[in-house]
Amino acid sequence: MQIGRWNHQSGGDSSSHSSGGSSRPYSSRPSSGGSRPYSPRPAAGRGASPSRYPSRGGSYGARGSFGGKPSYGSRGGSRGGGKRGGFGTFGETEAEIAKFMNKTVVTTSEPVFVPEHKFSDFDINAHLKANIIARKYVAPTPIQDKAIPHALLGQDIVGLAETGTGKTAAFLIPLIDKVMKQKGERVLIMAPTRELAVQIEKELAGFARGLGFRGMVAVGGANIGPQISQLKHDPAFVIGTPGRLKDLVERKALVLTGFGTVVLDEADRMLDMGFIDDMRLILGKMQKERHTLFFSATMGKDIEKLIGDFLSSPVIISVKTRDTPSSVDQDVVRIPRGKDKFEVLAEMLKDREFSRVLVFGRTKFGVEKLAKALSRLHIHAESIHGNKTQGARQRALEAFKAGKVSVLVATDVAARGIDIPAVSHVINYDLPSTYEDYVHRIGRTGRADLKGKALTFVQSR
């Protein structure tokens, strides 16, 4: 297999916001004082080195062929089918492609974040504090350092932070303390995907070990009967996807007036997945006087309107410093016309450097087909997409985390909030719908002080 080169320009990241973060009251009306919600504006840079990867490939997924067979087009759908209003694609112009390239050549040291608090400083339940220490949590991350004090005061919060910054602990720790101190307090947590909901529940179980209350997960793709049974025990924490939560409300199994606190995690993704009506229905059935914590990576107009409609004088906390992690080396693989990009992928994955790889595709059908094709080449691969049951998706994810399979092929259901240790590479086999989706996809690598690589396949015209 020949090693090829291609010419390109490299894209950088906007870094106009301070690393220390900020917190200020939210205002939905523009003001001359400059109190406005954060809105990322990524900028493209220049200059990148040639890649060592081959310029071979073809088309698989939305257009072209795979293995000599016709492929299926991208057809939209609700709840996770893609962007609202159908499928768009980011990365079709050279200016957009430039944003997929950012070489992590370190010329200066980034400032080290120094938190204002330690976990031991927070006025929280002593048993909860012991659980935090047992999990080796010492110094809070920026979002934890800024958000936890406000949450402990019962203030509504809008938290804006990059992926992988510890947002889950930022809301779980103060809310566990609240449940311990306020008898009968119940918390509803909404998340965009089944995997993220399950992960939040696991984090909850760790922090709340031995504290004597229940948490449960309510997601689609799993039998609703056991979920209804668990709700009869009035769990203190209910964690679910908007669609399944709505189903439970309509069956009168979930009565929302009993919840005094709600968390919307990855709110921008829930909007992108078409959950806006479900979210509004759920929030509309809750107590008007409630505690609301809202976490998002981006702040668009729809997000701003949702905040204005459902939050009461929230504090906005932004700890975003850039759109993509500095720990992730980003590049593109240009595929000449008429070449088979599956062969390029398969050849890459035989390299030992590609030890734990997350491959993103656009469609459920394409992802499943790609995983099976890789397995036929004795490349151990599993898939995650919306057509799989929750049990099958969780088994695939656990096998990948445990190293039983080296490649996980996924739709964007795996792009948000999922913490998978030591992912060596993220490969965008199909282009993302939006730049925000790209940012979240590549955020699965380069985590926990490790370096990672992100490669995006770009079809030449």
pTM of the entire predicted model: 0.60
Residues 100, 145 within the same domain: no
Residues 295, 363 within the same domain: no
pLDDT in tens, 342-357: 999 999 999 989 999 9
Residue tagged 């979240």 (tokens): 440
Q: How far apart are CA 243 and CA 221, in angstroms?
A: 11
Coil, helix or strand at residue 246:
helix
Report if residue 31 sits inside a domain: no
The confidence score (pLDDT) of residue 437 equals 82
Out of 285, 318, 351, a domain closes at 318
The confidence score (pLDDT) of residue 235 equals 96
Residue type, 232: K
**CATH number of the domain where residue 434 is located:** 3.40.50.300
Report if residue 391 sits inside a domain: yes
Low-confidence ranges of the chain (pLDDT < 70): 1-88, 103-113, 163, 320-326, 416-417, 448-449
Q: Which one-letter DSSP state was computed for residue 299? A: -
Domain that holds residue 296: 119-318
The confidence score (pLDDT) of residue 102 equals 73
Report if residue 21 sits inside a domain: no
The confidence score (pLDDT) of residue 448 equals 64
The confidence score (pLDDT) of residue 387 equals 87
Residues 399, 400, 404, 408, CA torsion sign = positive
Report if residue 6 sits inside a domain: no
The confidence score (pLDDT) of residue 345 equals 95
For the beta carbon of residue 450, count every other beta carbon within 10 angstroms: 13
Q: How far apart are CA 227 and CA 51, in angstroms?
A: 50
Residues 281, 339 within the same domain: no
